[in-house]
A = this chain, B = another copy of it.
Amino acid sequence: MIWVNGVITDNLPMTDRGLLYGDGVWETIGIRRGTPQWLEWHIERLQWGLQTLGIASPHDALLRQEIATACAGQGRAVLKWIVTRGSGQRGYNPHTAAEPTRILQVSPWSEYPADYAFTGIRLALCETRLAHQPRLAGFKHLNRLEQVLARSEFGSDYQEGLVRDYHGNVIEGTMSNVFIVNADGTVSTPELSQCGIAGIMRRYIAQTLEKMGVECHIHTLTLQNVEQAHAIFMTNSLIGLWPVREFSGKSYNIPPLLRELQAALHTLS
């Protein structure tokens, strides 16, 4: 089911700048028992994107009401939420756009094999690199060709791919964030000021680690850091936490810490 500006439809006006320029932002939200999870954080990131792009935010009450409508009667489902700058005159000038377009789409829950979370995944190393563009880093905008190119590099032998920037530093997965467990028991995840998406699950994991008394450091991560890690795991709002069992020809264990994090997530679902 798809709503555009509150109306059920399958279509979008061809003149929408979301299509023409990728001029908008989006969120993918897990719905469990009819409730959108981490909604406040999703709203926060969406607003961050709108503000960065200079798109006037629709009223908060309207956004929340439409999300509630979309989630009503759903058990487990996926909510895709897009806000574009709307339709305007021809050309890049954003000031000609009349009003943002609000799009909500509810899809069936993505069922991944339980093995991915339990025995772990095989992680590919992508050749596609992320460009440094601090103006567009962190939030989730509609310019996602880098992710499409990176995702096209691997097939069903791998469940996710690791993506680096042009300096060779590790940034994220194609659709997830990456964490490593270091030999000293601390956890690291890449800083994302130049590129990458600051995932909602990344934030939750960092917060949970803090509550557990485990140090989580956000800093530059080299490929060597990842290869030499004690453990590697990938996160996003839908997959939760996938341990990596194989990367770059090497096998990785799944330490108790990862099971504890998964357990923390499980209590939410």
Contact = CB atoms under 8 A, between A and B. Distances in A.
Contacts of A93: 151-152
Interface of A: 2, 4, 9-23, 26, 53-54, 78, 80, 82, 85, 90-95, 103, 105, 107, 110, 128-129, 131-133, 135-136, 141-152, 155, 166, 174-175
Nearest to A24: B19
B175 A146 contact: no
Contact of A23 (B91, B92, B135, B144): B144
Could you say how many copies of this chain the assembly holds?
Answer: 2
A143 B22 contact: yes
A145 B145 contact: no
A18 B107 CA distance: 19
B133 A131 contact: yes
Contacts of A136: 131, 145-146
B145 A144 contact: no
B148 A92 contact: yes
